[in-house]
């Protein structure tokens, strides 16, 4: 049998030996792309960048990558990869285009950066019981899997790192698997405290000043919508109210806006709205379908 020919892929902006600069006020997002090669159909994942302006044209940033997260100093793009020789959490050095590797299991996903940019938190169900756990790893390229370092913290998924403290927020449950929602805990896995109380509360993201969290939830109102919860009193405010799914929120660097994925108007796209809710504006269309949109992510780098 002859080996299958390589798939045709558009050239991404990040290339080996070429610097790439992520523009200020850019939104990063991942999306699926379906490629047909003769009788074979392939589903590929890519990362795009788009200006937070209505009608902007997305730029293809990286192939075979999803769930983007740009480091605080904007020098490294981390992401989740299903590429056979780069499984798990990987990235690119944007100054050189060099491919990086931070983990080695295909289950390792949802990377987020520490405020100092020296560590990455991610979630994985790599263990035999298939339960999701939170891990930390140094943000250091480790080509040899045997040299990779991980610190296992506790059960949970969808982690996000507080903008100025060693504090995480995540989706999870209590020690008995009950009272599910979102929880906070330290980066040492201590002080686990429930923050919101619906089992479908997912993808929590800190506001830049740490005063609250934006998240998505399906169970609260029977459809995927976006909400904001206050750290001061725990009050939850519904921000979207659409029959189409809204989710995967990311917050602008100044804390005034939220970017998210939605299927409003019958097609997938990236939308932006005020952090207090209200009218949303589409900034980019996502062609075709997203076979599992909940596996994607949006990042609005600070």
Whether residue 182 has pLDDT greater than 80: yes
Domain range summary for the chain, segments of one domain joined by +: 26-299
pLDDT of residue 173: 97
Whether residue 85 has pLDDT greater than 90: no
Whether residue 2 has pLDDT greater than 50: no
pLDDT of residue 194: 97
pLDDT in tens, 22-80: 999 999 999 987 777 777 777 789 999 999 988 889 999 999 999 999 999 999 999 99
Long-range CB pairs of 135-138, under 8 A, 24+ apart, other chains included: 135/103, 135/108, 136/187, 137/89, 137/102, 137/103
| Residue 199 confidence class, pLDDT cut points 50, 70, 90 | very high
pLDDT in tens, 113-135: 999 999 999 999 999 999 999 99
In this structure, are residues 33 and 59 in contact, taking their beta carbons and an 8 Å threshold?
A: no
Q: Considering the entire predicted model, what is its pTM? A: 0.93
Mean pLDDT of 261-284: 94
Phi, psi of 56 (to 5 degrees): -70, 150
In this structure, are residues 301 and 259 in contact, taking their beta carbons and an 8 Å threshold?
A: no
Whether residue 147 has pLDDT greater than 90: no
Q: What is the DSSP track for the chain?
A: -PPPPPPP-PPPS--TT----PPTTEEEEEEEEEEEETTEEEEEEEEEEEESSTTPPPEEEEES-EEEEE-TTS-EEEEEE--TTS-EEEEEETTTTEEEES---TT-EEEEE-TTSSEEEEEE--STT---EEEEEES---SSGGG---EEEEE-EEEEE-SSSSEEEEEE--TTS-S-EEEEEETTS---EEEE--TT-EEEEE-TTSSEEEEEESTTTTS-EEEEEETTT--EEE----SS-EEEEEE-TTSSEEEEEE-GGGS-EEEEEETT----EEEEE--S--TTGGG--EE---
How far CA 132 is from CA of 2, 90, 112, 154, in Å, comes to: 40, 19, 16, 9
| Residue 9 confidence class, pLDDT cut points 50, 70, 90 | low
Tokens of 277: 């809710």
In the block, tokens 């970017």 appear at 259
Query: How far is 179 from 24, CA to CA, in rounded Å?
Result: 40
CATH 3.40.50.300 fits 26-299, yes or no: no
């Amino acid at each position: 049998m002859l080996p299958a020919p390589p798939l045709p892929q558009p050239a991404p902006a990040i290339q080996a030996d070429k610097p790439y600069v992520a523009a200020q006020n850019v939104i990063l997002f991942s999306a699926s792309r379906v490629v047909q090669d003769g009788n074979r159909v392939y589903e590929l994942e890519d990362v795009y960048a788009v200006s937070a302006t209505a009608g902007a044209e997305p730029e293809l940033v990286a192939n075979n990558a999803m769930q983007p997260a740009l480091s605080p100093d904007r020098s490294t793009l981390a992401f989740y990869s299903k590429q056979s020789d780069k499984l798990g959490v990987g990235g690119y050095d944007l100054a050189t285009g060099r491919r990086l590797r931070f983990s080695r299991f295909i289950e390792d996903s949802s990377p987020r950066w520490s405020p100092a940019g020296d560590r990455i938190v991610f979630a994985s169900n790599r263990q035999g019981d298939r339960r999701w756990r939170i891990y930390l790893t140094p943000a250091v390229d480790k080509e040899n899997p045997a040299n990779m370092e991980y610190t296992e913290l506790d059960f949970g998924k969808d982690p996000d790192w507080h903008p100025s403290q060693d504090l995480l927020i995540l989706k999870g449950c209590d020690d008995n698997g009950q009272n599910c929602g979102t929880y906070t805990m330290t980066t040492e896995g201590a002080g686990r405290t429930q923050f919101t109380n619906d089992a479908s509360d997912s993808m929590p993201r800190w506001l830049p000043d740490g005063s609250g969290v934006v998240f998505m939830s399906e169970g609260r109102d029977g459809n995927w919508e976006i909400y904001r919860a206050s750290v001061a009193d725990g009050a939850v405010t519904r921000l979207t109210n659409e029959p189409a799914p809204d989710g995967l929120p990311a917050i602008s660097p100044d804390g005034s806006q939220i970017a998210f994925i939605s299927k409003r108007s019958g097609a997938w796209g990236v939308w932006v709205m005020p952090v207090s809710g209200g009218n949303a504006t589409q900034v980019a269309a996502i062609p075709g379908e997203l076979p599992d949109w909940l596996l994607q992510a949006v990042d609005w780098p600070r």
